[in-house]
Structure 1
Amino acid sequence: MIIVINDVPGMAADPDKIQAFSNILMAFGEGKHVLWMPSKKVLEIIESGEFSGRNLKILHELKDSARLTKSILNEFDFFIDVDFTTRSSTGFVEPNRLVLSYFHFVDSASVQLPIFVAENLSDIDFYILGSKVHLREKKLLSAYDVSFRHIAGGGNTTITSFRYNLLRNELVLCVLDSDKKHPAAGVQTTAARFSKYPLGWGVNYWLHILECTEAENLVPWKVAEAVLSEIPGTVCQKFLQLTPEIRRYVDHKEGLTYSNALDADAQHGAEFWAAHFPAVFEPESWICEPLGARFLEKCIEFMSGITIHKLAEMIDDRDMPYVNLCRMVASWGVGPKRAIR
């Protein structure tokens, strides 16, 4: 994450402020977070003699990197603005500031890597790969990386993990499948258990439920084509006939027949599938053939096996929902690629 400290009024006389600042400084030095502070303010702290040893070395690095770090603030969806004037956190402030009190950081546990909660560890890997494409697009890949503590588990485990980490004062990013197979359907299973939590920004969290069915629906088109082209038969051909709108609600693992699509229209009282396919379509013909239970894993293996530069070249305008989500993931997990030695 990017942490911004504009000033530290009264720090010398307040042990809690000193502790919070020291914890943030150490996390920056360990490469867990990006830190920016006006170089003039950093110099004042250096000259105060309050810090020595490793902390002093990190302060000098913070001062020297201030101009470059400031230039990247607007390349991400948000940054943490630490308020040293109050013990109460404000929360998210439009357009791009998560305002937290210094008191949040008095416990060193609060400056560890952020928590990423999802239903499967593979989902997290998938989104992190996309977040690195964002770094590449902003020419930041050589100096920065994206890292989290990964928390996964389906069913009740997901909501339990989410609540548990919030109670521990953690900062939590949570991305869930909607499991919707029709635009008129409500969110299903795991996501439905989060109904008490507002979507988007909440207290110490950002919660997102996919507008499509699940992570598989966001696999970049050219990546999917590369993976499916290795399968004999018409699987790839059928997949490439889909439009982005149709693909959004197709169950990639199980596939979708025309008759099942019409049944979904009837169940939800809205013609979505029928509006996209002619009535002469054979009832048992495939709109999308089953891509298999390991489709996402195979795509992740493919994406991991090529460079981020090559992956970026395989992403186009059809993949904007994935691109936009991964920009937020990058904003949560960005940190220096190297610790300060």
Structure 2
Amino acid sequence: MLFKVENCFPDQYENDVDKQLALDHLLLSSGRRKNIVIIEKNAIEKLLHSKLYRAPAKTFASDIEKNRREYGVIAKQLAVYCVVDFDSRQVSCTFQNNQWVIRVGYDYFIDPENSGLIGLITEGELDFNFYSVIATYYSKYISPLKLDVSFKFHHGAGSQSKPSFDRLTNEGKIILCLVDNDKSHPKKGEGSTSKVFTHYDRNYNNKSLVNVINVREIETLLPLNIIEKILVEQKNLKILTL
């Protein structure tokens, strides 16, 4: 996810530990390449000259400044990105300039877990690995942006996909859920796993989204043995490059 920080004044947070923590966690997220973080130039300069922040945070801030112009171009080409407002605790999602913009307050990042990888709910680990392979391939060989793509796995386990989605949504997490439609025939109704997701679930509602794949099973697109072969080959490639 790309996080664009606004209304941030790092040198004014001496008595605001929450804002210090939120900013520190965002910088760490960028430095560890969990997410892309954009911070205004003036804010970075204030941070670098402030005694409130540790050396690692300043190093990550300098890295953001070096790539700020490139990141700004990337933001304009994404289907969705997130604005982090340090002057607000409100959450909203709007469609503007052909992009979905999720807006959250700085308080979302007080919890360090929220600065990690974006969560992805799938019906099983095999589905998760398959989607990860597809995302990586698209990013590296089709998309002009050439971004690294990674997700945090959340187990849907079929009928538990909806409860997991609701729980994480209620916790305020940024979450994507992918499920098969389980239709026995294209003209038939959806199966029990996907039909419980509402119209509201299937549109950006603040920080979460469900996408019901327009096939009965993901294996309908590619045979299971081909998926497994791809995953095994990718695993072996990772081992060889370590």
| Deviation for aligned residue 1:41 | 3.0
The aligned counterpart of 1:214 is 217
CA–CA distance in 1 between the matches of 2:20 and 2:48? 13
CA–CA distance in structure 1, aligned partners of residues 221 and 86 of structure 2? 40
Q: Distance in 2 between matches of 1:303 and 1:73?
A: 31
The residue type paired with residue 66 of structure 2 is D
Q: Is the 8 A contact 1:39 1:63 kept in 2?
A: yes
Q: What residue in structure 2 maps to residue 310 of structure 1? A: none
Letter of the aligned partner of 2:81 in structure 1? Answer: F
1:2 shift after superposition: 1.0
Structure 1, 148-157 or 111-120: larger mean CA deviation: 148-157
- 1:157 aligned counterpart, secondary structure: helix
Distance 2:118 2:79 in 1: 16
CA distance in 2: counterparts of 1:116 and 1:210, whole angstroms? 14
CA distance in 2, matches of 1:110, 1:78: 17
2:51 pairs with 1:46: no
> Following the alignment from structure 1 to structure 2, what is the Cα–Cα distance between the partners of residues 138 and 37?
24
Shift of 1:56: 1.1
Q: Is the 8 A contact 1:171 1:205 kept in 2?
A: yes
Tell me if structure 2 keeps the 8 A contact 1:39–1:64: no
Aligned counterpart for 2:58 among listed residues 28, 42, 56: 56
Q: Deviations over 1:120-168 (max 9, x none)?
A: 2211222211211232223554xx4222221224343222222222233
Equivalents in 2 of 1:168, 1:100: separation in Å?
14
Counterparts in 2 of 1:47 and 1:169: CA distance versus 1, 3 Å? same
Q: Give the SS at the match of 1:146.
A: coil
Which of 198, 204, 208 is 2:207 aligned to? 204
**In structure 2, what residue type is equivalent to 1:129?**
V
Instruction: Give the Cα separation in 2 of the matches to 1:50 and 1:96.
Output: 34
Partner of 1:108: 112
User: 2:32 — aligned with what?
Assistant: 30
Aligned length: 229
Cα separation, 2, equivalents of 1:139 and 1:306: 25
- Counterpart of 1:179 (choices 168, 182, 201) is 182
The amino acid that maps onto 1:74 is K
Deviation per residue, 1:45-77 (Å, 9 max, x gap)? 222343231111111111111122222223421
Task: Answer whether contact 1:11 1:17 (CA < 8 A) is retained.
Answer: no
Which is worse superposed, 195-204 or 164-173?
195-204
Instruction: State the Cα distance separating 1:305 from its structure 2 match.
Output: 6.1
Which stretches of structure 1, 4 residues or longer, exceed 6 Å deviation after superposition? none
TM-score by length of 1: 0.61
Task: Give the secondary-structure state (helix, strand or coil) at the position aligned to 2:7.
Answer: coil
1:77 equivalenced with 2:79 (yes/no): yes
**Which one of 149, 158, 163 corresponds to residue 160 of structure 1?**
163
- Does residue 188 of the first structure (1) align with residue 115 of the second (2)? no
Identity, % of aligned positions: 21
Rounded to whole Å, the distance in 1 between the matches of 2:144 and 2:187 is 40
Aligned to 1:251: none
Contact 2:182 2:217 in 1 (8 A): yes
Query: Secondary structure at 1:200's aligned position in 2?
Result: coil
How far is 1:191 from its partner?
Answer: 0.8
CA distance in 2, matches of 1:306, 1:71: 34
State which drifts further: 32-41 or 57-66.
32-41
Instruction: For residue 160 of structure 1, give the secondary structure of its aligned residue in structure 2.
Output: helix
Higher mean C-alpha deviation, range 174-183 or range 42-51: 42-51
CA distance 1:2–1:172, shift in 2 (3 Å): same
Which structure has more relative contact order (CA 8 Å, sep 6+)? It is 1
1:3 aligns with 2:8: no
8 Å CA contact 2:201–2:209 kept in 1: the answer is no
Shift of the 18–29 alpha-carbon distance from structure 1 to 2, 3 Å rule, reads same
Kindly indicate whether the alpha-carbon contact (under 8 Å) linking 2:95 and 2:101 is maintained by their aligned counterparts in 1.
Answer: yes
Residue 303 of structure 1 corresponds to which residue in structure 2?
230
State the secondary structure of the residue aligned to 2:29.
helix
Q: CA RMSD in A?
A: 2.4
User: 189-198 vs 56-65, which deviates more?
Assistant: 189-198
- Letter of the 2:226 partner, please give it: C
In 2, the alpha carbon distance for the partners of 1:73 and 1:204 equals 17
Structure 1 contact 12–50 (Cα < 8 Å) conserved: no
**1:166-208 CA distance string (max 9 Å, x none):** 2333221101111113333221111122237431212321111
